[in-house]
Every structure is written in C-alpha cells, then in structure tokens.
Amino acid sequence: MKFHNRSALKFEPMQEWRMIGLTLLTAFLLKQIPWQGWLLTLRPDFMLIALLFWAQRRTEGIGFGIAFGLGILADVQDGVVLGQHALSYCVGVFLVQYFSRRLAMFTLPHQALQMFPLLLLTEIVALVAGWMSTRTPQGAWVLASAATGSLLWWAVAYAGKMPAAQIEK
C-alpha cells in the first residue's frame, strides 16, 4: 500500500506564500475574463476553489481573515451586496478545515465527490444571504457552479500532489 505522507512534504515557507499569492491572483484573473452564456453559468468559482485548496492544505495561516477579504473582492466583482461572498467563503473555509483530516484520507475522485455537498452548501449560503438582503432569486441554475467547482477541485488537488509541488524543506 502506498502511503501518502502529506505532513512531511512541504514547500519552504516563502516559496509556499509566493505560490499561494500566485494561485489566488490567477483565480482572480480567470474570473475577470468576459465569460458569456452557458460558460458563465457553468463557470466554477475559481477564487473559492483556490482558497479552499490552501485552507485544506495548511490549516494555519490561511483562514477566515483571507477568506473575508477575498469575499469582499468577489462581492464587488459581481456587483452584489457587500458581505454576501465574505460570509459564504468563511463558511467554506470552516467546512474544509473542519473536515480537513477526513478529506485527506480519500483518493482524489472521492475527494471531489466529498467537495460537492460542501461547495453546494457554500453556494446556498451566498444565495440565502443575497435573497434575504435584496431580491428574489432567478433560478436554481446558479448552483451549477458547485458541480463544476468540485471537478476543478479534482484538477487542483491533482496538481497539488505532483512532484513539482512537493519540494521538501
């Protein structure tokens, strides 16, 4: 049996922070692309996935503060009420950190399956927050990004397991 020794495999701290910054920036830029039509509907929340990936990988350092800040950024980007995504990102980070040990035990496809209800709950929190504060929602298709998001998680988690991402100290 192959043993995934996660705790022994780490970036150097500086390198890791640079990596975190880079992935979050990439996620932000991906979101800025003028998406249209069904692509816009299926677009996963890149920033949320990047944030949750790091929150799961290292439970210290990446936490609610960063989730809150990125959430405000997402709120402004989407032109919705301020605090909506801040709240849902915080809930996402909580769920991922609460289940971080459990998630680490699974193979990647199973991890993606586990992420689906988690992302769904995160989206629903955003939906309810928006609904309470402003207007009636326009349809359940907004939850489609939870499905594409968990697929993206698979890809991101795979990238995180590649040898290049596991430079030992």
Partner 1 sequence: MATPGQPMFTRRPGLAARLAFWSVLAISLIVLDSRFSALGWLRAGVVAVFYPVQLVVRAPFDFGGEVSGFLVRHRELQKENALLRDNQKQAAVHFARLNKLQEENEEFRRLLAMRQLSSYSGVPAEILGTPRDPFSQRVELDKGSNAGIEEGQPVVDGMGLVGQVTRVHAFSTEVTLITDRGQAVPAQIQRTGQRVLVFGGGGDMEVRYLPNHTDIQQGDVLVTSGIDRVYPAGLVVARVTRVSRPPDSTYARVSCLPIAGVDKSRLLLVLEKQGMPGQQ
Q: Contact residues for partner 1 (CB under 8 A)? A: 28-29, 32-36, 40-41, 43, 63-65, 67-68, 71-73, 76-84, 86-87, 90-91, 94, 97-98, 127, 129-139, 142
Nearer to partner 1, 8 or 132 (CB): 132
Separation of alpha carbons 62 and 145, rounded Å: 23
Q: Would you say 77 or 107 has its CB closer to partner 1? A: 77
CA distances from 55 to 36, 42, 100, 103, 128 (A): 30, 24, 9, 12, 24
User: Is 144 within 8 Å of 120 (Cβ atoms)?
Assistant: no
Structure tokens at 121: 């709950």
Query: Shortest distance, CB of residue 142 to partner 1, whole angstroms?
Result: 4
Nearest 5 degrees, angle CA 18-CA 78-CA 126?
A: 90
Nearest-approach distance from CB 67 to partner 1, in angstroms: 7
Q: Which two tokens stand for residue 142?
A: 């907004």
Cβ of residue 136: shortest distance to partner 1, in angstroms? 6
Closest approach of partner 1 to the CB of residue 57, in Å: 16
From the list 75, 67, 27, 72, the residue with the least C-alpha distance to 47 is 27
- The nearer residue to partner 1, 11 or 89, going by C-beta atoms, is 89
Cβ of residue 161: shortest distance to partner 1, in angstroms? Answer: 25
Q: Do 123 and 95 contact (CB within 8 A), yes or no? A: no
Cβ count near 82 (within 10 Å)? 11
Nearer to partner 1, 9 or 72 (CB): 72
Closer CB to partner 1, 11 or 44, in the complex: 44
